[in-house]
A and B are shown apart, each in its own frame.
Chain A
């Protein structure tokens, strides 16, 4: 990420500028910043959901700004697994459909999965490794799960097909302390096995211990909020 300037459209205006920010492959990076400090903006830029007004975002050798919007969506489908803070799942869909959803948008991830086994089998393995009993919940509606279980299903969805990048936006903020720890361990474990790079943002520094690198948002980005 180089010389990036980005302003959200609409009011109040929020501008973020980043001179340089680099993540190595295979890193487990924790990005720390206060609430409303631009963490989600940075992730949106990384994932190509929004494009910078100036500068470039280069992921795995591809400059996202130079892709068409549709190609960016495709790029995201192929290479990203995204976990939100909460409300990750389509509530009316079954757990298994939620997990398999990314595969219908990405051929390479579908191929990755099917090289080893069936998609459903792989989903079940991921769910099991995240501490869920797939045979009990796979056919249930996502909305019938607890918040902690939902976050694990979301992790399974991000991990399926082994995308190069896992991006997580405060995935543990809705969990209690013990569940947080457990969730992170499982996530690290699976991301490590797949060789995925993990970028997670949080306002909570106590999580730092297990990451390979911790970065404070203030150190890499300047933000400006125009009062209206």
Chain B
């Protein structure tokens, strides 16, 4: 008989990391919703506005990919820092995609919240017990 694999705390953490990573595309499109931004501004916006784990070496290839797909467009703009910066802005297709993804996200999020409601009640009970 095979031995059961003992779940480790890392398993849940890894799942959380994957969940955050999977949201990165929508997060970038959302960051660009109001204004054009350059790479580092996008990274700082994501870090400040969310708990997303953003690895710099992933964001730039992803931006490049979004540009290839026609969801964002880019332009080099001179800056006061002494070097030009590559700014990204949403295209019409990118805005459309961002809205579609947000709808899907909202639907999925609502159904998952409903699904895990009993677990949330359990967590609330535990929290009440822990309070002195």
Q: Do A and B bind each other?
A: no
Residues of A within 8 A of B (CB): none
